[in-house]
Amino acid sequence: MSKIIVLIGAPGAGKGTQARLLQERLGVPQISTGDMFREMKDADTPLAKEVREILASGKLVPDEVTFEMVKERTARDDCKGTYILDGFPRTPVQAEMLEQLSEEQGKPISAILVDVSFDDLEKRLTGRRSCPVCGEIYNIHFKAPKQEGRCDLHPEAELLHRADDTSEKVTVRLETYEENTKPLLEYYEKSGRLQKVDGKRLPEEIYKELESLLAVNNVAA
Ligand code: AMP
């Protein structure tokens, strides 16, 4: 049976990577509202201007605007079967709107949380460093370079630490996620529609578990 899969995960949990793998390997369309807004903001329309300003502020686009976009996108042919929502719903109002869409489309909702503890997320994000030459990603906690602060292949280059991966910014990003998403997790859990995968493992291992969850749901069968 076709479903609407809501993929939930904190910054650093690897949700985006998994959504892309599912799309590539199983052909399940991945609808990312964040990606859609980023694409939309470059157009020359009044709505694009509004979206541009909201995105720059880090706030959320109004629920109605977001829902209309999701509704339109999921009405296309490629979403006739199961599809994955990434970044939507993000508020309880949006969750209600999705119930309405689920009814209209005749597809039940199944939410999947890529679960990583806050402690680990903090280490993943604050410990992340990248080489400015080859883009190789290191982590001072889990995958340290041979020489501190230097790429193994390009020791002449000092490793970069992203501005939003500093301890202070990471705390804010994780708190924002917690505040917005916790009610959604409770909402899906209470109605028996939440499944969890352990996001602490390697991407390929997480993917295997997701794939088997979807097979149980008759999506990947
Ligand atoms: P993301 O890439 O998912 O972090 O989204 C980037 C930005 O797009 C967010 O900071 C919001 O401004 C906007 N956005 C994405 N999804 C939603 C949503 N479901 N509701 C409202 N705004 C959203």
25 is an active site residue: no
Q: Using alpha carbons only, give the angle 60, 66, 71 rounded to the nearest 5 degrees.
A: 160
**How many angstroms does the Cα of residue 55 sit away from the middle of ligand 1?**
7
90 is an active site residue: yes
Would you give the distance in Å from CA 186 to the centre of its chain?
A: 18
Q: Give pLDDT tens digits for 79-112.
A: 999 999 999 998 889 999 999 999 999 999 999 9
Name 196's bridge partners: 113
Please say if the pLDDT value at position 20 is more than 50: yes
Is 26 a pocket residue for ligand 1 (Cβ < 6 Å)?
no
146 is an active site residue: no
Q: Give pLDDT tens digits for 42-88.
A: 899 999 999 988 877 777 899 999 999 999 999 999 999 999 999 99
Please say if the pLDDT value at position 180 is more than 50: yes
> What totals of helices (H) and strands (E) does the chain contain, helices first?
8, 7
**What local confidence, expressed as pLDDT, does residue 106 receive?**
97
Is 88 a pocket residue for ligand 1 (Cβ < 6 Å)?
yes
Domains of the chain: 4-216 (3.40.50.300)
> Closest Cα to atom 3, ligand 1: which residue?
34
Active-site hit among 90, 107, 124, 129: 90
